[in-house]
Amino acid sequence: MAALVLGLPEARRNEAAAVFRARGVPHRRVEEWKYSDLKSALGDAGVGAAVAQGLVGNLPSGVEMFDLAQDNPPDWVRENFAAATSNAMSSASLALSKGGVAFRVPKGAQITDLLKVDFTGPGHVRGLLVLEDGASLTLVEGVGIADFRNVGFEIVLGEGASLDHVRLSPDGGEAVLVEEAAVHVAARATYRAHFAGFGSKLSRMELEIALEGEGAQAHLSGVAVLDGKRHSDVTTHVIHRLGNTTSTQLFKHVAGGGGRAVYQGKVTVAKGANGSDSNQSAKALLLGDGAEADLKPELEIFADDVKCAHGAAVGDLDAESLFYLRARGIPETEARGLLLHAFLEDAVAEISNIDQRELVRTELLTVLRAMA
């Protein structure tokens, strides 16, 4: 089966390779990569051609899985996998990866067990998740540490489907980790995502979400806590293609030492997508002169009668709050930790799954205590 790799016809693969060749490895002079210079982070090693893996930690019953390295993909993979993209790194993973994982939740299936998937090893890998009409699922994505990994993820939500996507990235040290997720949300379907991360040499989660049917919703939230020289970049593009669609975004970052937090969020309301509602908020706390936050919310509106709000703020811990806590006997370090935790709390509270929410809270407390 030389003609099919990754279930992809040779032509599609060549097409992706051509896009990646034309665009090259993104660097800081490419506008969307201004704050995340991938080329210089990778250095001479480049993107390589290694093949990373998607490991399934828990496959709930009712969820169908397909190994993308296998021949003869089923129809649901053929129909949804490898949609055309102009994204450089997503094209790179299509061109270079030789495997990955695909999942399908059949029509109407309400899956209560968590689907756990960990992406591990260096190189390129693909993921596909299809929720058919009315299906619901919670996906917990783990991020393993590797010198370099590039994940290309496609998520397709049918009408009325509901996905909770929780992504947890531990402190990745010197790792360079990028991921591009393309999410299609049909009418009345809901995509909720929460990204909690501690950064690495370069970490980037890029999301492109298309709200493609009336009543489609996307709710994104995330926290990043960055110490040392850690970097974390969340770049989102939400496209309201049709009217009466809703999107919210709430991102909170804490950067200490030489940490760098990046949020770029673009919301596009397409022509005719009247009655769309979008709200974006990104805030960062900087603990020291070496830390940096680059917050860039952006709106592009081509429709009428829309409600769009966005805001961004960078600050330091509130001196008055700190004094209040200390004056009541709470030692300075503990008071700072408490305030940092409080700063992140409304974003953490967005995680619907209670166990995952508690897990994130615990991890944050440990790291914040050390940073405070």
* Nearer to another protein among residue 103 and residue 343 (C-beta): 343
* Nearer to another protein among residue 29 and residue 328 (C-beta): 328
Q: How many residues interact with another protein (rule CB under 8 A)?
A: 24
| x-marked contacts with another protein along 333-352 as a string, rule CB under 8 A | -xx--xx-xxxxxx------
Beta strand spans in the chain (E): 4-5, 8-9, 53-58, 64-67, 100-105, 110-120, 123-131, 136-143, 148-157, 162-169, 176-185, 190-197, 202-211, 217-226, 231-240, 246-256, 260-269, 277-287, 292-301, 307-315
The least distance separating another protein from the CB of residue 317, rounded to whole angstroms, comes to 11
* Nearer to another protein among residue 241 and residue 341 (C-beta): 341
The least distance separating another protein from the CB of residue 357, rounded to whole angstroms, comes to 14
Can residue 368 be called a binding residue for another protein (CB under 8 A)?
no
**Sign of the CA dihedral with 78 first, then 83, 84, and 86 last:** negative
Positions in 259-318 near another protein (CB under 8 A) = 318
* Nearer to another protein among residue 140 and residue 250 (C-beta): 250
Positions in 134-173 near another protein (CB under 8 A) = none
Q: What whole-number distance in Å separates Cα of residue 92 and Cα of residue 209? A: 20
Q: What whole-number distance in Å separates Cα of residue 23 and Cα of residue 18? A: 9
For the chain, the residue count is 372
Q: What whole-number distance in Å separates Cα of residue 46 and Cα of residue 117? A: 26
Residue 44 DSSP one-character state: G
Can residue 354 be called a binding residue for another protein (CB under 8 A)?
no
List 1, 29, 112, 329, residue binding another protein (CB under 8 A): 329
Q: Mark the segment that binds another protein (CB under 8 A) among 9-17, 89-97, 108-116, 328-336.
A: 328-336
> 304 by DSSP, 3-state: which?
coil
Q: Which two tokens stand for residue 193?
A: 């995502």
Q: What whole-number distance in Å separates Cα of residue 303 and Cα of residue 143? A: 38
Can residue 323 be called a binding residue for another protein (CB under 8 A)?
yes
- Centroid of chain to Cα 141: 10
The least distance separating another protein from the CB of residue 370, rounded to whole angstroms, comes to 18
Tell me the C-alpha to C-alpha distance, in Å, between residue 67 and each of 142, 223, 291, 370.
18, 31, 42, 41
> 116 by DSSP, 3-state: which?
strand
Can residue 332 be called a binding residue for another protein (CB under 8 A)?
yes
The least distance separating another protein from the CB of residue 290, rounded to whole angstroms, comes to 22
Can residue 327 be called a binding residue for another protein (CB under 8 A)?
yes
Can residue 320 be called a binding residue for another protein (CB under 8 A)?
yes
List 272, 324, 358, 370, residue binding another protein (CB under 8 A): 324
List 22, 304, 331, 366, residue binding another protein (CB under 8 A): 331
Q: Which two tokens stand for residue 43?
A: 């250095």
List 80, 120, 279, 321, residue binding another protein (CB under 8 A): 321
The least distance separating another protein from the CB of residue 336, rounded to whole angstroms, comes to 12
Q: Mark the segment that binds another protein (CB under 8 A) among 195-203, 235-243, 300-308, 323-331.
A: 323-331
Can residue 224 be called a binding residue for another protein (CB under 8 A)?
no
* Nearer to another protein among residue 49 and residue 349 (C-beta): 349
List 312, 325, 359, 365, residue binding another protein (CB under 8 A): 325
- Centroid of chain to Cα 108: 26
Ramachandran bin of 209, using left for φ above 0, alpha for ψ from -120 to 50, beta for the remaining angles = beta
- Centroid of chain to Cα 290: 26
- Centroid of chain to Cα 362: 21
Q: Mark the segment that binds another protein (CB under 8 A) among 38-46, 55-63, 306-314, 329-337.
A: 329-337
List 2, 3, 319, 354, residue binding another protein (CB under 8 A): 319
**Sign of the CA dihedral with 256 first, then 206, 102, and 132 last:** positive
Contact residues toward another protein (CB under 8 A) are 318-321, 323-332, 334-335, 338-339, 341-346
